[in-house]
Amino acid sequence: MSVRPLGYSALQIRLHWIVAALVILQLIFGESTGEGFDARVEGAGSGYNTASIAHIVAGVLIGLFMVWRLVQRRGRGVPDEGTGLQALAAKVVHWAFYAVLIVAPLVGLAAWFGASEDIADLHTMVKPVLIGLIAVHVVAALYHHFILKDGLLLRMKRPQ
């Protein structure tokens, strides 16, 4: 068994925060792609506008960065997530993020380029799931920082 790092590398931290920023932008501005998608489905044009192009590009970047994060995770490893239920919860949430943030862009692309409302509905269902994951992740980080005071939150700030 290999030794786990005590913290995350500078690259892992940068990728985390870049993805976080892109996801927040997608959640805030993603709804504005609807007009373009509706036009595309109805055959009333290509559907491309600034909002739809930005959403597609940001989604592709999120998917690619998440794959890069997986490569980093596999190559360098990640700090120990502890033991017991907290560790299980951390693993479930982290792997759910990987799954959602890799699959959602693929489903979004399939919806857009297939002009499929059914697939678009599936892509839209990602939003509440993602908001729930983010809420659990943030609450857990704040719990570790303010209640447990175990320095866990600092691992995403300072490379080791």
User: In this predicted model, what pLDDT tens digit does every residue of 7-40 receive, in sequence order?
Assistant: 999 999 999 999 999 999 999 999 888 888 988 8
- Write the DSSP string, the chain: -PPPPSS--HHHHHHHHHHHHHHHHHHHHGGGGHHHHHHHHTTSS----HHHHHHHHHHHHHHHHHHHHHHHHHHH------SHHHHHHHHHHHHHHHHHHHHHHHHHHHHHHHT-HHHHHHHHTHHHHHHHHHHHHHHHHHIIIIII--SGGGGGTS--
**Which pLDDT score, from 0 to 100, does residue 64 have?**
98
Write down the pTM of the prediction. 0.93
